[in-house]
Homo-oligomer: A and B are copies of this chain.
Amino acid sequence: MNVEEIIKTSKEIPLEPRTLIHMQLVHNKINETMNSALKPFEVSLQQFNVLRILRGQKGQPANLSTLNERMVTKMSNTTRLVDKLLIKGFVDRAVCPSNRRKVEIVITESGLKALEQMDASLEKAHEEIYQNFNTEDLEKLNELLDKF
């Protein structure tokens, strides 16, 4: 990926802003790849993220605030995100009996099955995304990202 070529500029950009642009371009590319990997399942990255969190609960229900807390990208509206998963039948929702302010959300069998297929599709996306990386590169990258 050549930054200057992609944004069609001839002059070289100072390191600080260049890094920000670079990050943005990589982010766009990753997003595109992952979204198209999820396209066949008609779920967004956010919805996929929620399903993964719910699976991690191993049967235990999660409420909206828990979901929001664990989501990579915080959304201001988790209710409507869950609504969409509900329509697809990937989750169930019920009012929490011990505290009726809360809602309990669990992933359904159908959701788990779909999630498995999504995982496989994302595995392929990983191969595509990381084709130029070795383990050492990835470790170094994670180390540098920690500095942010």
A contact set with B: CB distance below 8 Å: 1-2, 7-9, 15-30, 34, 56, 69-74, 122, 126, 129-130, 132-133, 135, 137-142, 144-148
27 contacts between A and B (CB under 8 A): A1-B147, A7-B71, A7-B72, A8-B69, A15-B135, A15-B139, A16-B130, A16-B138, A17-B122, A17-B126, A19-B130, A19-B138, A19-B145, A20-B30, A22-B142, A24-B27, A24-B30, A24-B72, A26-B145, A27-B27, A28-B73, A129-B148, A132-B148, A137-B144, A140-B144, A141-B141, A144-B144
Copies in the complex: 2
Q: Report Cα–Cα, A147/B135, bound state, in Å.
A: 13
- Which residues on the B side are within 8 Å of A2 (C-beta)? 146
With A21-B72, A23-B30 known to touch, is A147 a contact of B133 (CB < 8 Å)?
A: yes
